[in-house]
């Protein structure tokens, strides 16, 4: 989770602050327009765009495109909308780049571990059960040709939870751009995208949260420029039993919930779909492999790692320009 750093003296010139709910969480939009704009019009367009997104990609809506695809008992191609096709395409690309760490076909594995809405696994699957699932879990079981989406086995399903919030942020940013708003901050459930600045050329400042489950405090203040910021980590949503912390993030290589010392990983990228997808992928890879891959690919990444003394921080060279001493 990241949050917006606000100082009272910075609020002299009032911009707009819109709030609402989407994807099981909240959204916040702040902007300072060049000329007066009816914020009701802006919010209506944001809400309509988010509604359309959910109608394509929400597994909570029984007749959404994704739900239809998941229920489809056929390997014939299905025609899907542009937004959905874009997100699947990006997820396939990220799966390749992350050596299979991000895998949107992982749903059956999440279910096999019995994760309930409280992120608590209610059962431990047998090796035999985990083995059988190989026929219908794996990014290569999904085929996308333009807007035609198909699966190699009728049991293949898609779960976009790891990337959809980031895409939602990009969709809202596009709405603001359509109103020619150049100074904005968009945030959905802690994933965010920023552009321009506040009045008097003041930078937007945001903060990465300290990875502790009880109270909220600042780990690091950032100025990410015209970029997006996303954070992954199980420091708030986890379940511990017999000294083992079970995460709802699954490593597709081991078919098991991730277990390593990474408390949180934050990624800055040019758009929030990428930032969000990479945050999950690096969270799967863990502190060593994740840091190595991020450095090789030149990604801007900030890791908070659990250590005997508390927490250790590590960031890639590409992340350095965003650090602010506060
Ligand atoms: P976090 O906030 O920890 O990044 P998210 O809510 O963004 O978590 O994503 C976790 C969800 O993504 C899980 O509940 C599951 O539905 C799905 N998921 C789990 N493992 C993977 C994976 N390896 N690749 C893609 N999606 C995953």
Binding residues for Mg(2+): 162, 276, 280
Q: Residue 9 corresponds to which tokens in the numbers above?
A: 């003296």
Please report the atom of ligand 1 found closest to the CA of residue 280.
4
pLDDT score at 75: 97
The reported pLDDT for the residue numbered 309 is: 85
Radius of gyration (C-alpha) of the chain in whole angstroms:
20
Prediction ipTM score: 0.93
Chain position carrying tokens 């992340």: 319
Ligand 1 center to 162 CA (angstroms):
4
- Which atom of ligand 1 is closest in space to residue 101's alpha carbon? 23
Q: Which atom of ligand 1 is nearest to the CA of 234?
A: 3
Terminal-residue alpha carbon distance, the chain: 19
- Among protein residues, the one whose CA lies closest to atom 4 of ligand 1: 232
What's the whole-model pTM score? 0.92
At 310 the pLDDT is: 85
The predicted pLDDT at position 43 comes to 96
If you measure from the C-alpha of residue 322 to the centroid of ligand 1, how many angstroms do you get, rounded to a whole number?
26
- Give pLDDT, residue 212: 73
Question: Is residue 179 a contact partner of residue 33, using CB atoms and an 8 Å limit?
Answer: yes
Question: Count of alpha carbons within 13 Å of 81, Cβ hemisphere only?
Answer: 12
Q: Kindly give the distance from the C-alpha atom of residue 137 to the centroid of ligand 1, in angstroms, as a whole number.
A: 15
Pocket test of ligand 1: the residue of 110, 188, 235, 280 to mutate, having most ligand atoms within 8 Å of its CB, is 280
Cα(265) to centroid(ligand 1), Å: 13
Q: What is the maximal distance between C-alpha atoms in the chain?
A: 63
Q: Along the 326 residues of the chain, how does pLDDT read in single tens digits?
A: 666 665 443 344 568 999 999 999 999 999 999 888 999 999 999 999 999 999 999 999 999 999 999 999 999 999 999 999 999 999 999 999 999 999 999 999 888 887 765 556 667 788 888 888 888 999 999 999 999 999 999 999 999 999 999 999 999 999 999 999 999 999 999 999 999 999 999 999 999 988 876 777 889 999 999 999 999 986 654 555 566 656 788 999 988 888 888 999 999 999 999 999 999 999 999 999 999 999 999 999 999 998 888 899 999 999 999 999 87
| Residue closest by Cα to atom 14 of ligand 1 | 248
CA of 252 to the centre of ligand 1 (A): 11
Ligand 1 binding pocket (C-beta < 6 A) is: 102-104, 106, 110, 159, 161-162, 232-234, 248-250, 252, 279-280, 283-284
As beta bridge partners, residue 262 has 305
197 CA to middle of ligand 1, Å? 32
**Residue bearing the CA closest to ligand 1, atom 1:** 232
Q: What is the atom index within ligand 1 of the atom nearest the CA of 233?
A: 3
């Amino acid at each position: 989770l990241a949050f917006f750093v606000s100082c009272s003296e910075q609020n002299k010139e009032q911009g707009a602050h819109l709030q609402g709910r989407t994807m099981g969480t909240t959204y916040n939009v702040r902007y300072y327009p060049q000329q007066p704009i009816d914020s009701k019009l802006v919010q209506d367009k944001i809400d309509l765009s988010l509604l359309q997104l959910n109608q394509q990609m929400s597994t909570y809506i029984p007749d959404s495109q994704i739900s239809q695809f998941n229920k489809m008992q056929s390997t014939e191609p299905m025609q899907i909308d542009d937004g959905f096709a874009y997100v699947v395409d990006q997820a396939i690309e990220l799966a390749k780049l992350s050596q299979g760490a991000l895998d949107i076909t992982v749903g059956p594995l999440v279910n096999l571990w019995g994760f309930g809405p409280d992120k608590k696994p209610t059962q431990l699957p047998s090796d035999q059960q985990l083995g059988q699932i190989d026929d219908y879990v794996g990014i290569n079981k999904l085929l996308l040709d333009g807007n035609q989406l198909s699966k190699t086995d009728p049991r293949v399903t898609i779960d976009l939870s790891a990337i959809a919030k980031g895409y939602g942020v990009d969709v809202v940013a596009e709405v603001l751009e359509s109103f020619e708003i150049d100074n904005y901050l968009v945030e959905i459930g802690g994933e965010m995208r920023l552009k321009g600045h506040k009045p008097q050329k003041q930078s937007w400042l945001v903060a990465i949260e300290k990875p502790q489950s009880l109270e909220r405090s600042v780990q690091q203040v950032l100025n990410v420029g015209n970029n997006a910021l996303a954070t992954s980590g199980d420091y708030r949503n986890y379940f511990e039993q017999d000294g083992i912390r079970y995460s709802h993030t699954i490593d597709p290589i081991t078919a098991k919930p991730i277990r390593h010392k990474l408390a949180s990983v934050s990624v800055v990228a040019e758009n929030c779909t990428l930032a969000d997808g990479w945050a999950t992928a690096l969270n799967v890879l863990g502190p060593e492999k994740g840091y190595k891959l991020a450095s090789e690919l030149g990604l801007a990444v900030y890791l908070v790692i659990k250590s005997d003394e508390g927490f250790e921080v590590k960031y890639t060279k590409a992340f350095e320009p965003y650090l602010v001493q506060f």
